[in-house]
Amino acid sequence: MALKIDQINPHSLPPLLQELADLIGLPAALKLASAYPGVPVYIPSKPHQGHHLSTIVGYDNLKRLSDVYGQSHLKMPNMTIRKMKHQIVQDLRAEGKSIREAALATGFTTRRVEQLCASDKGAKTNTRQTDLFRKGD
């Protein structure tokens, strides 16, 4: 199932993607992140219409990027669709949506949503565990 833009909470994205979404829009920011997952991308100071980034984000958006980030390398976060769907599951469950509703919204099976919810609870529980090897209190 394809992920819809309106399902993505921009505030749950990494800070750089939030900045890019504010500057060039969420769809273009996600296209850029998908094209360069976890890889630095050079933003030219004087872009031209034939530039390869222009085909990804559009020429007007590339000019906006150049105005702010020209002559810089942006290390794009490794945001995969899978990671975004996991975040959507967390957001939906936090809103009180059922496992079934979260599964339908993301295209996951109900079993996969249950697994994600269980692993989230386990991660939260484990953060309070005491250190076995810590010297006496």
User: What is the per-residue pLDDT for 136?
Assistant: 54
Q: Where are the domains of the chain?
A: 14-75, 81-126
- pLDDT tens string for the chain (137 positions)? 556 677 777 777 889 999 999 999 988 998 998 899 889 999 999 999 999 999 999 999 999 999 999 999 999 988 666 777 788 888 889 899 999 998 888 888 999 999 988 876 655 544 444 555 555 55
Cβ atoms within 10 Å of 29's Cβ, excluding its own: 25
Q: What are the backbone dihedrals phi and psi of residue 73, each rounded to the nearest 5 degrees, phi first?
A: -100, 120
What pLDDT does residue 67 have?
97
CA distance 107 to 89: 10
In this predicted structure, what is the pLDDT of residue 74?
96
Per-residue confidence (pLDDT) for residue 126, from 0 to 100:
43
Q: Which is it for the CA torsion 46, 51, 56, 60, positive or negative?
A: positive
